[in-house]
Amino acid sequence: MGAAQNGCGPMIPPLSESSRPLRQQIFERVRAAGTMPRVQVARELSVSPATVTTLTSELIELGLLEEVAAPREADTGRGRPAVALGVRAAAHLVVGIKLSDREHTAVIVDFAGNLVADVARPRVPGPTELPALVDATEALVQEVCAKAGVEPARLSAVGLGLPGFVDSELGLVHWSPILAARHVPLAATVAARLGLAVHVDNDANLVTLAELWFGAGRRLSDFAVVTIEHGVGMGFVLNHRIYRGARGLGMELGHTKVQLDGALCRCGQRGCLEAYVADYALAREATTALNWGGREAQPVNILLESLYDHAKAGNAAARSIFHRAGRFLALGLANVVNLFDPELIILSGERMRYDYLYANETLAEIKALALNTGREAPRIEIHAWGDLLWAHGAAALALSEITEGLLGQVREMAAQ
């Protein structure tokens, strides 16, 4: 397999980064471009061609990069063919998994970011015990490996995402709506079962990583992703890198308070933004406003579809439920604008199918609530991707961790 033609990972402007080791900068620049000649690497990093040649030779020897044919304009076929650098795609395979309330998804991605295989499995909604979740994770890995035609032993790492409060550095899930227990060492437990390195993060960070590595955020230094699904999450990219906070638990937009002593949130507190915007909040409103008291046993997604149909048909109570949720969403997004001043806000997730949440009046209210600086407001885009995008973010997490580890070994070798 050759390197991905369009590359993957952040597209960082030339001469804009110096904090990361030079070898890592070289590798990440080549990975982002797909292919890149050595002379261009030297020019973009403002280092000598000799230095680039030395360092790329080491990266080739370590199996991270390889030489690939580079197309030349007006190629006459004379002389030596042009050569560029590319990521050695076959060097590593990773699995990215998103565990969610209604569906688990998994992808296998090679070292250059190419998709190899994907699978999806429905599940019964609700919290589950840790052993059952580990069983489901193992089954996903085996299924996606079988579809790809590779042995699980070929895998280098697993990226794993789920909703809730996740300490990615320690691999701990402090709370998740899909886990019955709290403070669960999920990464260590899954790693012990699979015999692989496992890296865990919350699902909002994963969809942000997917946008940063494969989507609209590749060329942006600062942007936010707000996810609206079974809950409300947020990921934030600062200077081309995802920001998690000092303890890895930052950016919990869904649990910022928008109403003192307000509606009960599934996290156990009151007045959270999520308690007014998430699917269970809309369903709770519907059972009261539309006198659907006998429908509590119905799945939430069926209730929401019925609510949406009523709103589209002109039912005033149904429309008011979405309008109220949209106003609270506008309040939350305006706070994001005032706090972080992102270049772009991406609204993502299954609930973005419900256009009442981002109707023109909702977007106008964001502008009204944000500070009036006389400058253009951040762009807002709607990306109603499915769970496979989130699994791609989990794969990006695994690729990033592998790269850090391998380049860390390079630094140690150089110091000896």
DSSP 247-297: TS----GGGSBSSTT-SBPTTS-BSBTHHHHSHHHHHHHHHHHTT-GGGTT
pLDDT in the model for residue 3: 38
Could you read off the pLDDT tens digit of each residue along the chain, which spans 416 residues? 333 457 899 998 886 666 788 999 999 999 999 999 999 999 999 999 999 999 999 999 999 999 998 766 555 555 566 789 999 999 999 999 999 888 899 999 999 999 999 999 998 888 999 999 999 999 999 999 999 999 999 999 999 999 889 999 999 999 998 999 999 999 999 999 999 999 999 989 999 999 999 999 999 999 999 988 778 999 999 999 999 888 777 899 999 999 999 999 988 899 999 999 988 888 888 888 777 766 666 777 788 888 888 888 998 988 899 889 999 999 999 999 999 999 999 998 777 777 777 777 888 888 888 888 877 888 898 887 666 888 999 999 999 999 999 886 544 444 44
Domains of the chain, each with CATH number or no CATH: 1-88 (1.10.10.10), 91-209+388-406 (3.30.420.40), 219-384 (3.30.420.40)
Give SS3 for 336: helix
pLDDT in the model for residue 296: 64
Distance CA 187, CA 182 (A): 14
pLDDT in the model for residue 410: 46
Give the pair of three-digit tokens for residue 281. Answer: 């909040």
Amino acid 127 reads P
Instruction: Point out which residues pair with 117 in neighbouring strands.
Output: 108
Distance CA 251, CA 244 (A): 7
372 within 8 A of 265, measured Cβ to Cβ: no
Helix (H) or strand (E) holding 332: helix 316-340
Cα pseudo-dihedral 345, 223, 230, 159, rounded to 10: 150
Q: Is 12 exposed, middle or buried (0-12, 13-18, 19+ CB in 10 A)?
A: buried
pLDDT in the model for residue 353: 72
